[in-house]
Amino acid sequence: MAILLTERESTVLKLLAEGYDNKKIASLLFLSEYTVRDYVSSLMIKLRAKNRTQVVASAFRWGLLS
């Protein structure tokens, strides 16, 4: 089963993996914190993760991050 991410979800994922919080990600991408929160929630659903740490760990496991 392949996990399909949008371009923006992939960008948010990379920034999560670098340790940025929602506020910093929002600032870097010119988005609201609420929008970033929605992207993180979407990533959690797609990667079946319960928190941000699991999102990043699952992304490495699935080869979405290297």
User: How many other C-beta atoms lie within 10 A of the C-beta of residue 58?
Assistant: 19
Domains and CATH numbers, the chain: 7-61 (1.10.10.10)
Query: What's 66's DSSP letter?
Result: -
Q: Using one digit for the tens of pLDDT, what is the confidence trace for 5-59?
A: 999 999 999 999 999 999 999 999 999 999 999 999 999 999 999 999 999 999 9
Residue type, 19: G
- 24 Cβ contact list (under 8 Å, min separation 6): 15
pTM: 0.95
Residue with tokens 């990533």: 43
Residue with tokens 């993996």: 17
Say if CB 39 and CB 14 are below 8 A apart. Answer: no
